[in-house]
């Protein structure tokens, strides 16, 4: 595996994404919408609340911060659909496969081109979120609420794993569909378990550091399990002879 070769593929794909307005808007709108929207909501709630916010505010903040995980599952599916199904539609995969680049290098290159902007978007949005929340709640808590252990685990452990899983799912789905929209729709199924966790967190589940670590372990297992399938799917001969 030559990372420099993979990086050539990644750089090219990143340059292609810059031409796609839909991708850019998605990458900015979702994380920064969450990063601005929830602090605005907190501001409204705090201004209207007369009770002790330290009792209930952490529960809200934990739930809000989980939206960055949901975003990190949905954003890569859009980008990966353009990266893989887009190339499949434009028939540019065969020339790419005929170059002295291994399947693994192409896969890593394409994966990086999806992983890096998604991570940058989510981290950017979450940084804005944490800054604004700290500004609003410093007087409430008497200290800076962020960064804390849960947010660090969420952003540096769970989010990267969720992005990886979404990329793997997108690659596998890309071999079975013939248009970008279908690829996005099928791959977005990966968001469903996260939505369930989010809903459960409102009712029965406490979204604390322990829960996040358990979830990270589950996602790591899923990432490893899908890795072999992804490699088998993104195989030169498979792409040229079996992909729809």
- Name the residues that contact another protein, by CB under 8 A: 5, 8-9, 12, 15-16, 19, 90-102, 236-237, 240-241
CA neighbor of 130 nearest in space, from 36, 195, 52: 36
CB nearer to another protein: pick between 8 and 144: 8
CB nearer to another protein: pick between 4 and 51: 4
CA neighbor of 236 nearest in space, from 97, 116, 135: 97
Burial (CB count <10 Å: 0-12, 13-18, 19+), residue 213: middle
Minimum CB distance to another protein, residue 241 (Å) = 6
Q: How far, CA to CA in Å, does 42 sit from each of 23, 36, 39, 224?
A: 29, 10, 5, 38
Minimum CB distance to another protein, residue 14 (Å) = 12
Minimum CB distance to another protein, residue 78 (Å) = 17
Minimum CB distance to another protein, residue 13 (Å) = 10
Q: Which long-range contacts (CB under 8 A, 24 or more apart) does 141-144 make?
A: 141/54, 141/57
Minimum CB distance to another protein, residue 98 (Å) = 4
Which phi and psi angles does 97 have, rounded to 5°? Answer: -70, -20
Tell me if the bond preceding 147 is cis, omega within 30° of 0.
yes
CA distance 81 to 177: 10
CB nearer to another protein: pick between 58 and 104: 104
CB nearer to another protein: pick between 21 and 50: 21
CB nearer to another protein: pick between 102 and 185: 102
CB nearer to another protein: pick between 19 and 47: 19
For residue 119, what are its two tokens? 């991570």
Minimum CB distance to another protein, residue 235 (Å) = 10
CB nearer to another protein: pick between 176 and 236: 236
Minimum CB distance to another protein, residue 243 (Å) = 13
Angle at the Cα of 144 from the Cα atoms of 138 and 149, rounded to 5 degrees? 145
């Amino acid at each position: 595996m030559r990372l420099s070769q993979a990086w050539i593929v990644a750089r090219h794909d990143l340059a292609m994404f810059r031409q796609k307005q839909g991708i850019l808007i998605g990458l900015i709108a979702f994380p920064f919408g969450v990063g601005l929207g929830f602090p605005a909501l907190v501001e409204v709630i705090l201004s209207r609340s007369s009770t002790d916010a330290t009792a209930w505010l952490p529960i809200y903040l934990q739930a809000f911060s989980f939206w960055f995980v949901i975003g990190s599952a949905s954003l890569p599916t859009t980008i990966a659909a353009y990266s893989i199904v887009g190339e499949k539609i434009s028939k540019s995969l065969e020339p790419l496969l005929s170059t002295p680049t291994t399947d693994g290098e192409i896969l890593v290159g394409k994966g990086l081109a999806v992983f890096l902007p998604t991570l940058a978007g989510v981290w950017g949005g979450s940084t804005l979120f944490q800054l604004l929340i700290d500004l609003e709640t410093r007087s409430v808590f008497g200290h800076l609420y962020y960064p804390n252990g849960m947010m660090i685990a969420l952003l540096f452990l769970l989010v990267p794993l969720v992005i990886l899983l979404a990329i793997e799912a997108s690659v596998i789905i890309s071999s079975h569909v013939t248009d970008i929209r279908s690829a996005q729709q099928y791959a977005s199924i990966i968001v469903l378990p996260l939505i369930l966790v989010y809903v459960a967190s409102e009712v029965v589940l406490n979204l604390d550091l322990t829960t996040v670590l358990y979830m990270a372990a589950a996602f790591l297992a899923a990432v490893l399990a899908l890795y072999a399938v992804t490699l088998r799917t993104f195989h030169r001969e498979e792409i040229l002879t079996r992909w729809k």
